Amino acid sequence: MTDVLTGQAAVDQLLEVLDLAPTGATTFRGISPPVGPQRVYGGQVAGQALVAAGRTVDPERFVHSLHGYFVRPGDPSEPIDYAVENIRDGRSFSVRRSVAYQHGKPIFFMSASFQHREEGLDHQAPNPPDVPGPEGVPTMTDRLARYPERLGIWAMIPRPIDVRYVGEPGWVRPGDRPADPHQRVWMRIDGKLPDDPLLHACALTYASDLTLLDSVLSVHGEVWGPGGVVGASLDHALWFHRPFRADEWFLYDCWSPSASGGRGLATGRMFTTDGGHIASAVQEGLLRRVEG
């Protein structure tokens, strides 16, 4: 546990992962962290694909939505090549298609739309009531200490995100998680990010894949791993509503409207500490039971 990269050191490594190397006018190459899971984390490839798309757009236009599909597992030991197609540059919007390749085959593709800031109608649904703040719930270190046998990949990978679950996480022991219609987590990048809005959007994209599918299991009191469920992200969509900083606390309020046919649908809303609705996410995942 003490050797795991955390805090600003882990954030600096994340910034290196998101800092793609240009290989052409609209092509880029990315790497994965030196220590990681057997397949590339979905939030990483989505965040990198958004970096690639954003670097081909007027910096005065800000990303407001993205829609992506995970089509093959990524190999973290190999670089990932990104190719960006300019779909349209209009008076107010720019649309890009960003495709991630390994070994000459696509592993992920995304459409992203960017817009000039505009004034207009402004409203939001109420934020969740009676949720304790981030300082009032256990830290990830406190949570992990209770389940040393369930550490798995958490014991090895860098942790650039401070994650604090309001309820029980999806990786506790089978039987230790009561059914709950919501999965609520406080998050923030665990260090300081530069002021670039695109970078904050990419960091939020990275974070948005981390706990979203937990909400499907939460409905049933199920857990990840032995005695529970294994899964993989199939697609991911994200809408950015208001300006934010990913290195400041936001509440990720997730729930699952449906699960069937070995798939589960999860949706989530992100709120700042003062209640501003900054983003919404939707994801479908493949979920299969495993033996204990």
- For residues 279 and 256, give the distance between their C-alpha atoms in angstroms, rounded to a whole number: 17
Number of domains observed in the structure of the chain: 1
- pLDDT per residue over 211-236, tens digit each? 999 999 999 999 998 889 999 999 99
Q: Residue 2: inside a domain, yes or no?
A: no
Give the percent of the chain with pLDDT over 70: 95
Q: Residue 24: inside a domain, yes or no?
A: yes
pLDDT band at 151 (very low <50, low <70, confident <90, very high): low
Q: Residue 81 has what pLDDT?
A: 98
pLDDT, mean of residues 153-162: 74
- Kindly state the helix (H) or strand (E) to which residue 7 belongs, with its residue range: helix 7-18
Position of tokens 């299969």? 288
Is the sign of the CA dihedral 218, 224, 226, 231 positive or negative? positive
Q: Residue 125: inside a domain, yes or no?
A: no
pLDDT, mean of residues 254-278: 97
Residue-by-residue DSSP string for 176-229:
SS---SEEEEEEEESS---S-HHHHHHHHHHHHTSSTTHHHHHHHT--BSTTSE
Q: Residue 36 has what pLDDT?
A: 65
DSSP 136: G
Integer Rg of the chain from CA: 18
Q: Residue 1: inside a domain, yes or no?
A: no
pLDDT band at 2 (very low <50, low <70, confident <90, very high): very low
21-30, 89-98, 140-149, 177-186: range with lowest mean pLDDT: 140-149
Is the sign of the CA dihedral 48, 49, 55, 59 positive or negative? negative
Q: Using alpha carbons, list the distances in angstroms from residue 129 to 21, 31, 248, 251, 291.
A: 44, 40, 20, 12, 38
Token reading at 200: 């904050």
pLDDT, mean of residues 119-139: 95
Position of tokens 């990978």? 157
Position of tokens 């709950």? 180
- For residues 283 and 264, give the distance between their C-alpha atoms in angstroms, rounded to a whole number: 8
Token reading at 286: 């493949």
- pLDDT per residue over 196-210, tens digit each? 999 999 999 999 999
Dmax (CA) for the chain in angstroms is 56
DSSP 224: B
Q: Which of 66, 35, 39, 33 is nearest to 52 (CA)?
A: 66
Q: Residue 159: inside a domain, yes or no?
A: yes
Q: Residue 33 has what pLDDT?
A: 87
Q: Residue 121: inside a domain, yes or no?
A: no
Q: Residue 132: inside a domain, yes or no?
A: no
Domain that holds residue 182: 7-116+137-289
- Please list the active-site residues: 209, 233, 283
Q: What CATH number does the domain containing 279 carry?
A: 2.40.160.210
Strand partners, 95: 88, 113
Q: Residue 124: inside a domain, yes or no?
A: no
Q: Residue 35 has what pLDDT?
A: 67
pLDDT, mean of residues 234-248: 98
